[in-house]
Structure 1
């Protein structure tokens, strides 16, 4: 039968394993020359929403780890020991960072797309039904860009007669001439959340506004879209552990 001391030592060992797993994951994710745990957390939190979510916890666990490892009074006796709740929480964080969710888990999966030959009334119907404002547009089964509700409004403003607009014979191709060149990136369904955040970060550094990332089976623009991720989707990632 394990004594209280044995159980405490086991918790400390599990805590240390979780710490090492998180440390290794942070090195792989953040990729900077400084591999100190706290530095990786602070730098990573600025780039990745998932790390930001656990930033305070990770900083506290780093301090606890220092007390466990560097302030040991004697063999098998620690000046500080984690309780079971802390260890379980740290292990869950380690699992999330070591095995990040696929990007598809945070994507809008009910993707509504249109062909250039579709009538605009079909698009306005989709806007009313789904509340979406951006739609991938295809020509010869290849994505050629995004159709946005703002461009539809611009077209209507310029083609209004006697305060009315007739959309009956207007097609998606007519509206696409009002669209800006909106950068799109296609990724495979195997990509994870951190890889997607890197794509948006790279776009930002290049001073390009990436409208969205479109997920397909293999990352081809000729494949059916399985999901769409916007910058807002990354902000709204929910990583509660309860």
Structure 2
């Protein structure tokens, strides 16, 4: 009997440790306004982070179980509510996700094709045909980021160049597609070590400011003069699975 009781106590302790780890991560990511209630942080986080959304229902149930364990404890080592082993292991699994979230690079489009402004448009079209890419960072000869070329930019340009059902690409250069005095598409840079949380927060900030962020470019240290390692768009965030 004592062995069973001790085992139940260990399960409760393990569950509470996992719950507290998740709670601390939520506070670190979403706190700062003097409000650190678990359910409040869940509600805030579900609108910002896919990780919270993915486990929202389970975490709400964990909160109820945790309250029953902590607040309805009748004696030392005796709990009215006891978590089953599978619940404890699930809580520990989710806690591990929160304590070490995936790097943003893990959801990025890895093979990034870059060009210079003097490169021919034909080269870009060949790349689209071969790889089906839609976004191309444009750099200068010093390896410094200049602007982002998209497939829609190319389509718009080609539409304007159409003459008697013919488009002449012989002398077309990427620089011809850069519209003078027009605000370029918004792009942000983050480091290779940045988490998915960081990428989501950046997109969320632009959304709240009623601005469109075309992409996040991942580099080694998050600098615009470094080789791009991946590109993240809002579509990448939607496809996140845990």
The equivalences for 1:120-159 within 5 A come to: 120-140=121-141, 141-159=143-161
Equivalence for 1:205: 208
Report runs of 4+ in structure 1 exceeding 3 Å deviation.
none
What is the distance in 2 between the residues matched to 1:154 and 1:21?
A: 50
Deviations 1:25-60 (A, max 9, x none): 100011242111111111111111111111001000
What is the distance in 1 between the residues matched to 2:166 and 2:212?
A: 34
Equivalence for 1:70: 71
Query: Residues 155 and 70 from structure 1, CA distance in 2 versus in 1: closer, same or farther, beyond 3 angstroms?
Result: same
Q: Which of 166, 172, 175 is equivalent to 2:174? A: 172
What is the distance in 2 between the residues matched to 1:231 and 1:23?
A: 27
Q: Which of 206, 211, 214 is equivalent to 2:217? A: 214
What is the distance in 1 between the residues matched to 2:170 and 2:183?
A: 24
Equivalence for 2:28: 28
Deviations 1:85-106 (A, max 9, x none): 1111111111111121211111
What is the distance in 2 between the residues matched to 1:236 and 1:160?
A: 37
What is the distance in 1 between the residues matched to 2:155 and 2:105?
A: 31
Q: Secondary structure at the match of 1:3?
A: helix
Equivalence for 2:227: 224
What is the distance in 2 between the residues matched to 1:128 and 1:33?
A: 53
What is the distance in 1 between the residues matched to 2:130 and 2:86?
A: 45
Deviations 1:1-20 (A, max 9, x none): 98222211111000010111
Provide TM-score, normalisation by structure 2.
0.94
Stretches of structure 1 that go unaligned for 5 or more consecutive residues are none
Equivalence for 1:8: 8
Residue 179 of structure 2 is aligned to residue 189 of structure 1: no
RMSD of aligned C-alpha atoms? 1.6
Stretches of structure 2 that go unaligned for 5 or more consecutive residues are none
What is the distance in 2 between the residues matched to 1:197 and 1:10?
A: 36
* Aligned length, in residue pairs: 239
Residue 80 of structure 2 is aligned to residue 102 of structure 1: no
Moved more, 172-181 or 146-155: 172-181
What is the distance in 1 between the residues matched to 2:215 and 2:223?
A: 15
